[in-house]
Structure formats: structure tokens, C-alpha cells
Structure 1
Amino acid sequence: MKRLHPAWLVAAVAFVALVGAAGFRATPGVMLHPLHEEFGWSLGTISLAVSINLLLFGLTAPFAAALMERFGIRRVVAYALLLVSAGSGLTVFMRHSWELIALWGVLVGLGTGSMALAFVATVTGRWFVQRRGLVTGVLTAGGAAGQLVFLPVLALLVEDHGWRTAALTVAGAALLVVPLVLWRLRDHPSDLGVTAYGAAVVESAPVVTTGAARRALGALRTASRTPAFWLLAGGFAICGATTNGLIGTHFIPAAHDHGMAEPTAASLLALVGLFDIAGTIASGWLTDRMDSRVLLGWYYALRGLSLLVLPVLFAATVRPSMLVFILFYGLDWVATVPPTVALCREYFGASGPVVFGWVFASHQIGAAIAATSTGLLRDRLGNYDLAWYIAGGLSISAAALSLLLFRTRRPAASPTPVAVPA
């Protein structure tokens, strides 16, 4: 019987870790109104805490990727899960909005950012030569699986037992994954004396001699001199604005505005997570076989068209047309990740995971801007319609940015050299 390659076990543990940290990603949508009702904070104020979380979630990613190069994947991921657990658990004691910002925004932002998609790029870059696109899709879908598992449960917990019980549930889930990470997650194939999956020879683990901050900033400095980086970052910023920032944060409150019960709206958002798993895995499979620029162009254009029709789909009950939107948006949700990771690897070589961390930072900057601006727009106009139309137009422009990458098909930057032992 053929022995299972250790790369698949590492990928499985990484998937579970991503699921364990994903609980917090499901909490803002179900907690906006409970926090508003208990503390009297405006939706704009609560959305600010979400925006800071989204911003740090992105800005931490490139530094976390560099820290994984310096100190190892296992150690960074374990500390990240502890931060998520502490940040979520301590919210039960808060009384002021600045505490929400410090805990939801800063602590959880740093923790989840250390396990963002740069973590996925690092794992697949080290452990896989073949099936990289597919595994990237599967690991990316781990976040969606976490949302699928947690969101309906959290909505029911908030409704029946209050938001504090939901916050403690997220904290416990993140904490439970830490022992598994310490036990089974490995930093590099050479630690076990094996090749990466699909590689011909065992390669020694690179010895990084520069600090994590210097490494991350150096990769940014090199990448920012190329048009490809700005095209990828611009498209991914719009991706973040139209997923985490807009739908992820405001879909449930928007549905509530139309008379839909929050558990029902949360279940719809969970369905997005379910279809996202299929869509992201399929996107990874396609990334191994098609030009990633074409895939991104299609993904963004179709997303834009779906957002333009969303305002007329809301109602007090779930209509078939809304289910069609949920199906499509779920398939498209983070299908953009595998081709974007592949393009970062194509253009920036060995620095690809760190550069992708910066591209992902732009994703979260877009998400943060969208989360806050949409909350303020809702406070001022009393509805979300204009936000959906703006997001639709931006998504179509992201498709154009992706197709412009055809002008820079050749690698735009050489890999950053890393010292290896003789």
C-alpha cells in the first residue's frame, strides 16, 4: 500500500487551523445589532472596529509570512490562534467602544492576520510542486468552511443566549486547535527528510538571515516597482471591498432592514460559505490548467453583474432569486485567491508568498474602507442600495485591471535570493 505523502497531512492540519480561526470571521454580521441594542453604539462605530480588524488582518499578513520564514510556520500559527482566542474571549468584559476596537480590532486582527492567505501561500509553496493550485483552493476554502460551521450556530447562540456566549464559543474553538498545530504541523519537508509533493529531490530549508520586518518591506520595495504588483493589488483591494467588507459585514443587517430574521440571513451567508468551498476548489483546479489572468477577469466581471441586481432581491422571506444570488456569489467569493497566488509566484518567484501578503493587505484595506463607509452610508441614507451599485461598478473595473496583466506576461521581478546552508 502506497504511503500517504506527509505534505497532505500538513495541508490537513493547516485546513483545521484555518477553520478554527474562521469563527471570528462569522461574528461581526450577527453581532452588529446586538451590540448596538445593548450599548447604544452606532453601526458606524461598530463597523470601525470591524474595519480595524480587517485592516490589521491584511497588513499583518506579509510580516507573518516573513516571520514564518524566520521562526517557522508552527510557532507563528500557534501564537496566532492564542491571540484570536484571547481577543474574542475578553470581549465579554467590555463596557466601552474603545475596548471593542482594541479586542475585535487589534488583538483578533493581529491573530487572524497571522493566519491569513499568506499562510496558505507559504504552506503550498513549501510543501507542494504538483497540485499547488488545487491545494491552495482547498486551504482557502478552510475559511469558508469555518464560516459555514460557525455562522448558523453563532446566530442561534446570539438569539437564544446572547452575544457573550457566541464570543466565548469562538474563543474556545480557536484554543482547541492549538495542541493539534503543535503536534502535527511541520515547517519544511526537509524537517522530515522528504521532498515536497511532486519534487524530484529533497531541498534544504532556506536559512533566512534578515529580520522579518526587513524581509517583508524589502519584498514590497522590489514588487512595488512593477506594474504587475499594482494591477494585482488594485484588483484584490476591490475583491476585499466586495466580500469581507460589504457582504460579510453588512449582508445580515441589510436583510434585517427588509424584515428578514437574522438567523435566516445568517443561514444564507453560511450557504455562501458552502458554495465557496466548491467554487474555490474548482478555481484551484482551473488555475493548474488555465491562464490565471483570464480567470480573474471572468470572476470579477460576473461578481460585478450580480451585485448590480442584488438590491431588488431582498425581501422579508427567502425568494428563489435570492438563492440564485447566494449560489453564484458563493462560487465566486474567494475563487480569486488561487489565480492571484499563482500570479504572485509567477511574477515574483521565491518572494511570491511575502508579496502575496502585501497583495492580500490591499484586499483588507479595501475591505476596511468598505466596511466603514457602508456603515456610514447606511446611517445617512437609511438603506444599502447605493453601496451595492458602487460595489458592482468597482468589480467590473477589477476585471479590466486583471486583463491588463496580459501586457506584463513575463516575470517582472527576479526571486529575492535567500542564503542556504552549504
Structure 2
Amino acid sequence: MPDTSDLTPSGESADPAAPWSVAAAAFAANFVTFGILFSFGVFLTPIADDFGTTTGPVAALFSTAISTYYLGGAIGGRIGDRFGARPLVAVAALAMSGGLLGTAWSSALWQTYAAFGVLVGLATGFCYPSMIGLIGRSFSERQRPAAMGFLLVGVGAGTLVMPWLGHQLISAIGWRQTYAVLAAVALVVIGWAATRGDRVRTSGARLMRISLLARSRRFLLFFAAVVAIGPGFYAPVAFYNDYAVDAGVAPGLAAGLIGISGATSVVARLACGALGGRVDPMWLCRAAFACLTAALAIWWVSGGSAAVLVISAVTHGVGWAVWVTATPSVLAEWYGVENLGGVIGIYYTGLGVGGLVGPAVCGFVIDAAGFGPAIALVTVTSLIALGLLTLPMRDGAVASSSRT
């Protein structure tokens, strides 16, 4: 990333190619971090078998990683807005590599909570909001939607490739050796991405006081909705694979369901980026929540049919892509691009709460009563989220005083 002297007042680099090298780094970092995190479903059963336990305790490992991801995002996004993305992404490279190696070398399940649950989660959290803030600072308003879409395509592409790759490597060399290989990949790729980050803030604007968010009705409604959507958003990531295998779906297709969601999200994110500012981003968020809820309902009534599960995965991918592409635009419109990393990091802690509770609770429900009640539970919480998002999003005085 060029230093601040290379940037125009609009935030656009004097070298037109330079911001896109930043976007490429953001794509690569998100490809690796989210690809590894969201491929956990194909590791769940091998880890449980290795440690002689059931689905519930291992599913809670994913919940832990999700919660630390959002905790890291809340901290890292704010630090990135103030000091730049480079130091955060460098730390993320070390944390991701160390967490995967620690998981591979673990001799007890509790050790995987410290390694995967904490370090891998934090690494993802340090990368994502800081990179979103970096994109916001590096591109003009006109180019920003396309650049943000490209960054988010990295998330979808990683989710497409990594579960399939993880399944192939586990079959060939085992889950522990697979995580060791991915540790080396993460160190190289995320380490390179860190070299493209900015070292100092590129905007002279002062940061918003985060305490203002607690008095913002629209932010609190938006936050409550993301808490409620979290369990349903992460249930397919954690359980599509095991549900499909139990239903008799071929293991390769079962492992590929979340990859299908990721592939769909790649196409949908590109489409959202092309739309730019032509569609109200809040309307897109509501449409996305409707898609995520529909995906769960389709899964619930699928009866284990491979074709219906693919439809569910595609619907999940569309909802996922539209939501994460539209959300930065909503928050940038409300609170300004100079605060985007910090605000979006705090917003996503709500998804972390849902992610912490959802897979863990679903895992124990599955152990006790099977998949049907668990899917029904998260379908209901997603309907609640959609209802919250349809309420009026107005702020009044807080909106006008959001920047200090």
C-alpha cells in the first residue's frame, strides 16, 4: 500500500494500479482465513473420532472460533482505523499459522480450544474488518463498491475451494497433517497480504466515539437482527456435511455443500459489486435475510435429498453474499468511511454472539433429538431476525452527531 502522500484527497491513489494491489491482498487474506475457518465442517467428524467424543463438544470448538473471530474484529477494526492494517494482518499471519499447528499437535480436546478456537478465530477477526477499512480508505466512492465486492469474493472463493481441498487432504494424509499444511499456506499468503497494508491512517478525519453507537436506535436494531440471524447463518457451515452423510449423500457432495454456497456467493458478490450504489443497501440486507431464512426452511424439509440440499446451499450462498456486500455500504452511509473498520467490527460481534450460541446449542440438540429440531430452531431465530430488520431504521439527533 502506498504511504499517505500517494493518495489524493478523495482517498484514491495517484497510481491507479496501487489500490487494486491492496484489493488483491485483501482477496488473498480473506480467501485463506475464511476458507480455513469455514471448512471446519469437514474436520468435525475426524476430530470427534480422534478424541473419542461426540458432535456437541467438537461443534462448540467452531462456536468458540466464531466468537473470538468477532471479538478480534471489534478490536482489530478499531486499531486498523487508527494505525493502519499492516501490523494487524502481520499478527494474523502468525496467529493463524500458530493456531493450526497447535491444533494439529494437540493431545487433548481442550488444547484445540486454545489453538483453533482462540488463535484461528482471532486471526480471521484481525484480517476482515481492518481490510474492509483499508479498502474504504484506498478507493474513491465511485470505485469502492467494486473493490469491496472483490474483497468479499475472496471469502466466497475460499469457502468454495477450502472445504473440498480439506476433504481431499484429510482422505490422503489425515486431519492433523492437513492442518499442518494449511498452517504453512496461511503464513505465506497472509504474510504477503500484510506487506500491502497501510501503516498509518490515510484520512485526517477524527474517529467517531464508539459510545455513540449505544445511543443509536438504528444501530441497535441492526445489531439485534444480526444476533438473531447468527445461529441460522452458521448452522449450515457446521452441519451440512454431517447431515448429508447421515442422509446417505455421497461424501464428496456432502463435503461440497458449503463449497456450493461459497461458489454461489462468489457470483452473487460480483453482481452486487456491479450494482454499485443503484440499489438501496438496506433493502438488499432485508432481501438477504429472507434468503438465509428460506435456505434453512428448504434444508428442514429436504428429507436428505441431495438435489434439495443443493438448492438450500445455493439459496444460503445468495443470502450470504448479498448481506455481507450490502452491510459495509449501510454502515459507511450512516457513520462515514473513516470509521468503517471499527463500526463493522463492532457490528459483527452480534454475529459472533449468534455464532457462539448457535452451533454449540445445535450440536447438543442433534446429539439428543436429531437434526430436525435443530434446523427448526435456527429457522425460527432467523425469522425473528428478518422481522427486526423490517422495523424503521431512524436515528434523529444521534445521526447528526455521529462524527466528532
TM-score normalized by structure 2?
A: 0.89
Contact 2:230 2:351 in 1 (8 A): yes
- Equivalent pairs counted in the alignment come to 389
Instruction: Report the counterpart of residue 298 of structure 1 in structure 2.
Output: 287
Shift of 1:105: 0.8
Shift of 1:182: 4.3
Q: Does 2:82 match 1:94?
A: no
Partner of 2:322, secondary structure, is: coil
1: distance between equivalents of 2:54 and 2:180?
23
Match in the other structure for 2:262: 273
**Which residue is 1:160 aligned to?**
172
* 8 A Cα contact 1:232 1:340, kept in partner: no
Q: Verify the 8 A CA contact 1:305 1:396 in the aligned structure 2.
A: no
For the 8 Å contact 1:81–1:112, the answer to whether it is kept is no
Quote the offset at 1:410 in angstroms. Answer: 8.6
Equivalent residues in 2 for 1:49-64 (5 A)? 49-64=61-76
Q: Deviations over 1:271-300 (max 9, x none)?
A: 111111111232334451111221112221
Q: 1:207 Cα shift?
A: 8.3
Instruction: Report if aligned partners of 1:65, 1:357 keep a CA contact under 8 Å in 2.
Output: yes
Gaps of 5+ in 1: 191-203, 209-214, 418-422
Query: Residues 281 and 327 of structure 2 are in contact (CA less than 8 Å); yes or no, is this contact kept in structure 1?
Result: yes
Q: Which residue of 2 aligns with 1:416?
A: 403
After superposition, give the CA deviation of every residue in 1:57-111 in whole Å (9 maximum; x if it has no partner). 0111121012213432112101101100110012222111210110111111111
Q: Secondary structure at the match of 2:16?
A: coil
- Number of the residue aligned with 1:211: none
Instruction: Give the aligned partner of residue 212 of structure 1.
Output: none
Instruction: Please report how far the alpha carbon of residue 11 of structure 1 lies from its aligned counterpart in structure 2 after TM superposition.
Output: 0.8
| Structure 1 residue 249, shift from structure 2 partner | 0.9
C-alpha separation in 1, matches of 2:177 and 2:374: 32
2:134 pairs, out of 123, 144, 167, with: 123
Aligned to 1:112: 124
- Is 2:346 the partner of 1:358? yes
Give the distance between the partners of 2:159 and 2:241, measured in 1 at CA: 14
1:99–1:363: structure 2 CA closer, same or farther, 3 Å change rule? same
How far the C-alpha of 1:52 sits from its partner, in A, is 1.2
Looking at structure 1, the residues matched to 135 and 191 of structure 2 have their Cα atoms a distance apart, in angstroms, of: 22
Deviation at 1:186, TM superposition (A): 3.4
Alignment gaps of 5+ in structure 2: 1-13
Determine the C-alpha separation between the residues in 2 that align with 1:237 and 1:223. Answer: 16
Length-normalised TM-score, structure 1: 0.85
More displaced, 295-304 or 97-106? Answer: 295-304
- Matched residue type, 1:104: F
1:293 touches 1:403 (CA, 8 Å); kept in 2?
A: no
Q: Distance in 1 between matches of 2:275 and 2:379?
A: 24
Residue of structure 2 equivalent to 1:330:
317
Structure 1 residue identity aligned to 2:231: A
Partner SS, residue 305 of structure 1: helix
Aligned to 1:398, which of 385, 390, 396? 385
- Amino acid aligned to 2:322: A
Q: CA 1:414–1:137 in structure 2 vs 1: closer, same or farther (change >3 Å)? A: farther
Matched, 1:68 2:80: yes
Cα deviation, 1:352-377, whole Å, max 9, x if unaligned, reads 33121111111111111111000010
Paired residue for 2:19, among 1, 4, 7? 7
Q: Aligned partners of 1:344 and 1:410: how far apart in 2?
A: 17
Counterpart of 1:279 in structure 2: which amino acid? A
Which amino acid in the other structure matches residue 339 of structure 1? A
| 1:339 correspondence with 2:329 | no
Separation in 1, partners of 2:46, 2:174:
8
Q: Quick check: 1:347–1:411 contact (8 Å CA) kept in 2? A: no
- 1:83-232 paired onto structure 2 within 5 Å: 83-116=95-128, 118-128=129-139, 129-187=141-199, 205-206=203-204, 218-219=209-210, 221-232=211-222
- Percent of paired sites with the same residue: 25
Conserved 8 A contact 2:61-2:116? yes
CA distance in 2, matches of 1:159, 1:403: 45
Residues 1:389 and 2:376 are matched in the alignment: yes
Q: Judging changes above 3 Å, is the alpha-carbon distance between structure 1 residues 147 and 309 closer, same or farther for their aligned structure 2 residues? A: closer
Relative distance call for 1:93 and 1:306 in structure 2 (3 A) is: closer
Provide the rounded CA distance (Å) in 2 between the counterparts of 1:59 and 1:53: 10
- 3-state SS of paired residue (1:206): coil
Amino acid at match of 2:117: G
Could you say what secondary structure the match of 1:404 adopts? coil
